[in-house]
Structures are given as C-alpha cells and as structure tokens.
C-alpha cells in the first residue's frame, strides 16, 4: 500500500509553515486572484514564492487554488499569473472551470492541473473525460460514498490520483456550488466571496401571510436548518487507504494556525501508526480528543457511509465548540536554563495550568510558575498580543511548539 498524501489548508504564511512542521505532505493555498476564499488572507506573489521555497526545502508540495467559476472579467491576467506560478515552482494548480483549464494548459502545459471538487465529479465516465484532457488528479465531489469512490478508483487509469476531503466544514450545496449567498447578500460564493448563509437562523413564512414568521423550534434558540456538522474521518483511516485514495484533504483556509497544527498533527499520527503495522492497527482515541481541543462542530462522516440524515445536522446553534485557547508559540529554548522564549497569542497568568505540544508527540501539562518580559522583568500576566516572554519549562520544548490553556476553568 502507498501511504497517502496528507494535504492541509494554508490561509497565510504562518499557517503554511505550521501545517508542514506538524506533518502535512502538501498544502493548498490561494493567491490574490482566481481562488475561492476571499475571507482568508491569501498570498501575494512574494509570499507564494516564500511558501514554495519553505515547503520544497522540507521536500513538501504546494498547490494553488484557481477554482472560481469565472465571468469574462475574471479571466484577465490569467496567462501571466499562470506563468509566474510555474516559474515559482508550484507543484500544481486546482481548477474547476474548463475555460481556466484550457488557458493554463496551453500557456504552461508542464504545470500539473488538479480538478477541484467544485467540478462535481461523481462518476468514472466524467473521470475519464478529464483524464483524456490531461488531468492526472481529481478531487471528487463530497457527495460520494466510500463504495462509489472505490469503484471509481478501480475503473480509473493507474496514473490518475484521487483526492477526497477527510476533515472540516461541510457545504450544504452540491460540492460547494451555492447560489444562496449571491441571492441573499450579493456575495458570489462561486467567485470566492461566500457569506455562509447555511449557518444562519431561519423561520418559516406562509405565502399568503407575508411578514408573519413561524418559528421552527428545535430548542430555545430556534433552529439552523442548513447547518451541517463537520466532517471527521480520522477513525476510518484504514478504510480510506484500502479504497485507494491518494490524497487526504483537510478543509480550513480561514481557520487559525492553531487549528491547522492540531488537526494535521492528529491525522499525521494516525496515518503513520497505521502504516507501521496495518494488520495490528488500533485507533487511539487521544487523536480525536486532541482534535476537539481546537474549535469544532460536532462530527459526521458525511456521505462516506450513506446519505446524511437529520443526525448529521446541528439544529440548535451554528457556533463552534471551543474548549481551549491558543496562548503561546515557542520561538526558542535554552537547554541550560530550561527557559523558553514564547510569542503570546492569548492572555496567560502565573498560576495557569497549560498544555504544551509539538509535532508527532504527546502533550505535557504544567503550571506557569514564573514569566519574564523582554527586558527581564518578572511579570504575573502576559496581556499583550504577540508579546515576547520567557517561561521556565518542565520538559524540553522546540521551536514551533504550541501552548494552549483550557477555558473551562
């Protein structure tokens, strides 16, 4: 069996670096045009180059999203941008539109093109249509069962790679092709500007009673009839591997770097543990417990094991569950003094219990006994965003290790 690629989202340079440090084999990101995530910071051309160089130094890959459904004006500058990406050494671009595919293919034919989930590929005949045009990786529609995916892979050419989403927010519309946002607030989801109306609270109105709203009550706060649970397939790594999926994709370019590190770390440990000894593999519940220490909604397996039911929706709230704060990022560590240099991300106090974790290893817990500011003054609290402090650590830590704190008391 071939170990699948673990593909992580990168909303900015820090998230890119965090994803790779914490175990991603590749990242996907958007530039300032042609991508579907205006809400993320996205990358300037200089940042793309820096990200590609960082990834390639560690033998990892970078894919660029160019998966909008374009209007005429959206095609302006496409050839020039494609050439720049190729010259930067990106490992592939992700497209959904045949026009964008055609322009890139004739402009830089050596640049690998992946077909986005936005193309809604749900059967092997469509797979072969794109394969015959030169596509060698397809991100399947999210609305497929594992059995359907396995059948597609068996019938597809051996040099075609299949990528599927394994974790993250689910879209209520077919493979993300949503018109609600554009209709309701004039923000076109298919051009990267989704307002997420599927997460809003709705009421019922009868046609002949305009303005008279009937509540759809699931609880005291009403109901959220389009609000899906988040996809989580970490418990089913063996099934995904055996089906022949080549790339496991995590959603979340607008999520925090803490979220990216936490989720990638758990999937990395699960995949690696499975490949150590597939016949005697046992799922470790701590992996999903760790994921739940980042913000999350309740989890679902989406369409993998059958069509979703009412059990796969969250009717009471569209909010995330958040039990921990990301409070610090380790910048340096002195083994002689056991002092860590830390960049503060949320307030922490002397006396707080914190958890410290890094790539591929268990976390440890300690009490903050003393902290010092950059001038060496002892402090009781680190209140300032990105304040640089020093803290004594009970165990050795490394650059990029993360410090978190429970917010549940």
Domains of the chain are 5-174+231-304 (3.20.20.380), 324-406 (2.40.30.10)
Res 195: pLDDT: 72
CB 401 within 8 A of CB 393: no
Rounded-to-integer distance, Cα 195 and Cα 176, Å = 13
Mean pLDDT of 381-399: 95
Res 102: pLDDT: 97
pTM of the model: 0.88
| pLDDT at 180 exceeding the cut of 90 | no
Max alpha carbon distance in the chain (Å)? 77
Higher pLDDT, 175 or 99: 99
| pLDDT at 316 exceeding the cut of 80 | no
Return the DSSP state at 119: G
- The CA-atom distances, in angstroms, between 178 and each of 94, 173, 182, 190 are 19, 5, 8, 7
Query: In b/e form, how buried is each residue of 160-183, taking b as 16+ CB within 10 angstroms?
Result: bbbbbbbbbbbbbeebbbbebbbe
Report residue 68: phi and psi, to 5°. -70, 160
Give the residues across from 6 on adjacent strands.
248
| pLDDT at 101 exceeding the cut of 90 | yes
Res 177: pLDDT: 65
Lowest mean per-residue pLDDT among 57-71, 143-157, 305-319, 390-404 = 305-319
Res 277: pLDDT: 97
Rounded-to-integer distance, Cα 301 and Cα 165, Å = 11
| pLDDT at 39 exceeding the cut of 60 | no
- The residues, any chain, with a CB within 8 Å of residue 350's CB and separated by 6 or more, are 368, 369, 370, 371, 379, 380, 381
CB 329 within 8 A of CB 168: no
Mean pLDDT of the chain: 90
Higher pLDDT, 71 or 133: 133
Mean pLDDT of 136-154: 96
Res 187: pLDDT: 75
Four-residue CA torsion sign, 162, 10, 21, 357:
negative
């Amino acid at each position: 069996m071939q170990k699948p690629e673990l593909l992580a989202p990168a909303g900015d340079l820090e998230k890119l670096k965090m994803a790779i440090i914490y175990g991603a084999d590749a990242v996907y990101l958007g530039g300032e045009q042609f991508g579907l995530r205006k809400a993320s910071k996205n990358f300037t051309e200089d940042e793309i180059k820096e990200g590609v160089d960082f990834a390639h130094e560690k033998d990892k890959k970078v894919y660029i999203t160019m998966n909008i459904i374009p209007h005429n004006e959206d095609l302006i500058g496409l050839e020039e941008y494609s050439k720049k990406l190729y010259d930067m050494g990106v490992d592939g671009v992700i497209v959904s539109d045949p026009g964008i595919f055609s322009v890139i293919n004739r402009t830089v034919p050596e640049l690998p093109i992946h077909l986005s989930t936005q193309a809604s590929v749900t059967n092997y005949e469509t797979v072969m249509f794109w394969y015959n045009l030169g596509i060698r990786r397809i991100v399947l529609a999210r609305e497929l069962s594992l059995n359907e995916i396995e059948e597609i892979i068996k019938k597809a050419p051996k040099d075609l790679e299949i990528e599927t989403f394994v974790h993250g927010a689910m879209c209520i519309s077919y493979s993300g092709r949503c018109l609600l946002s554009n209709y309701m607030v004039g923000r076109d989801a298919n051009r990267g500007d989704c307002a997420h109306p599927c997460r809003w609270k709705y009421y019922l109105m009868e046609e002949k009673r305009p303005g008279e709203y009937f509540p759809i009550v699931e609880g005291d706060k009403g109901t959220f009839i389009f609000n899906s649970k988040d996809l989580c397939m970490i418990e089913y790594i063996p099934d995904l591997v055996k089906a022949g999926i080549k790339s496991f994709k995590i959603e979340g370019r607008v999520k925090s770097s803490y979220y990216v590190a936490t989720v990638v770390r758990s999937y990395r440990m699960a995949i690696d543990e499975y490949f150590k000894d597939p016949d005697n593999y046992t799922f470790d519940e701590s992996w999903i417990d760790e994921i739940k220490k980042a913000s999350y909604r309740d989890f679902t397996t989406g369409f993998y094991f059958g069509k979703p039911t009412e059990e796969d929706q969250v009717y009471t709230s569209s909010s995330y569950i958040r039990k921990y704060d990301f409070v610090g990022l380790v910048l340096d560590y002195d083994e002689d003094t056991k002092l860590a240099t830390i960049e503060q991300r949320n307030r922490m106090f002397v006396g707080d219990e914190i958890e410290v974790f890094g790539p591929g290893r268990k976390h440890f817990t300690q009490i903050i006994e003393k902290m010092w500011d950059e001038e060496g003054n002892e402090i009781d609290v680190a209140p300032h965003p990105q304040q640089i402090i020093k803290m004594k650590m009970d165990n050795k830590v490394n650059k990029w290790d993360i410090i978190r704190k429970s917010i549940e008391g």
